[in-house]
Amino acid sequence: MAKVVSDLVIGRPRVRSALATLAELHRQTEPAQHAVVPTGFDRLDDVLAGGIRQGEIVMVGGKPGVGKTIAALQWARSMAQRGIVAVYLCYEHDEVSLLMRLLSCELGEMVAASSTAPTSLQYEELRGRIRDVAAGAITLRQALESDALLRQAHLRLASYADRLVLVTGSGGHTDVNAIRDITMGFDGQPIALFVDYVQKVPVFPAIPREGERVGRVIENLKQLALDQKLVVVAIAAADQAGLDARRLHSRHFRGSTALAYEADAIVVLNEKITVVSRAHLAYSPTRAEEFDRQVVFSVEKNRNGSADIDVEFEKDFPHYRFHPRGRWVAERLWTEGSNEL
């Protein structure tokens, strides 16, 4: 591993014949573990042919508030539960905030699995206590001592917490070289790297034009994924045209040209109530309420399977989670050029 990284730093690619690679494959006695890592979102994993592969980048984009960080952090949780080291690098939220989101997610998992009403404090009250910990109003110990359900959620989180690494990124310091240093510290363990979000990663010396800067970042992340056999999930922000659009597409990502080229798969999140055809809403207020609870995950690029596939997952945002059992989108979605208003 050290030699590969050294070659990358000084600009020399690894040189090996196809015969040598073939011989190495013949020496393998069993399939490589963790070569494909599921996200834990069932229908999405079906589209991605099982999940995300080592050495590949999945780009995730959407408008603010649609659930990009919620989904990515939930995927990181699922991967850590499977024995993967999930490194979640976030330029928007600190470690305490992310940890409290995970604690809320565990509480939500308990709610979803429970067929009876809680016998202790109401769940809204428990979520309030978690928010108080994040705000520094009470200590974690005080929150856990207040209720058995919170203690149970904490135990669930602790069961995989050693494999989930939360890093607060700095726009002034945490460049791709710093990211490489972080991912090299796990003694050959399989790693999933999450970058939230890619437009925040700095480049030194600075590149003023965002498109060029984002292009440099994503190229370096792709090289890092290949060299260290990482699973990489990179979150992308939308440009102004995307924010104004009824339906966001990957072309609306800031620095979209480079992102689209380097990504092995692109998943775009949109609120279903916004992008579903109006014909499905005309005579059914009940359906409108149903659509408002769903987010559409559109796979616009997929090197390992079919693209232009739409699946949907139900929001549970009070618990910072999606219900991971999704559905294929059955309704017609709005597209540019249609006659709908």
Q: 78 by DSSP, 3-state: which? A: helix
Whole-number pLDDT of residue 288: 84
Residue 249 per-residue DSSP state: -
250 domain residue, yes or no: yes
45 domain residue, yes or no: no
What is the arithmetic mean of pLDDT over 41-70? 96
Q: What is the CATH number of the domain that holds 293?
A: 3.40.50.300
Compute the half-sphere exposure of residue 97: CA atoms within 13 Å on the CB side of its CA. Answer: 12
Q: Which residues constitute the domain of residue 277?
A: 52-91+169-324
| Interval 215-248: pLDDT, tens | 999 999 999 999 999 999 999 999 999 999 999 9
Adjacent-strand bridge partners of 96: none
Amino acid found at 99: L
87 domain residue, yes or no: yes
Per the structure, the count of domains in the chain is: 1
Main-chain dihedrals φ then ψ at residue 280, nearest 5 degrees: -80, -10
Tell how strand 321-322 and strand 309-316 pair up. Answer: antiparallel
- pTM to 2 decimals? 0.87
C-alpha span between 148 and 77 (Å, rounded): 22
Tell how strand 191-196 and strand 85-90 pair up. Answer: parallel
Whole-number pLDDT of residue 124: 82
Residues 6+ apart with CB under 8 A from 55: 225, 226, 229, 230
| Interval 42-53: pLDDT, tens | 999 999 999 999
139 domain residue, yes or no: no
131 domain residue, yes or no: no
11 domain residue, yes or no: no
Q: How far is CA 311 from the centre of its chain?
A: 16
176 domain residue, yes or no: yes
What is the arithmetic mean of pLDDT over 322-332? 94
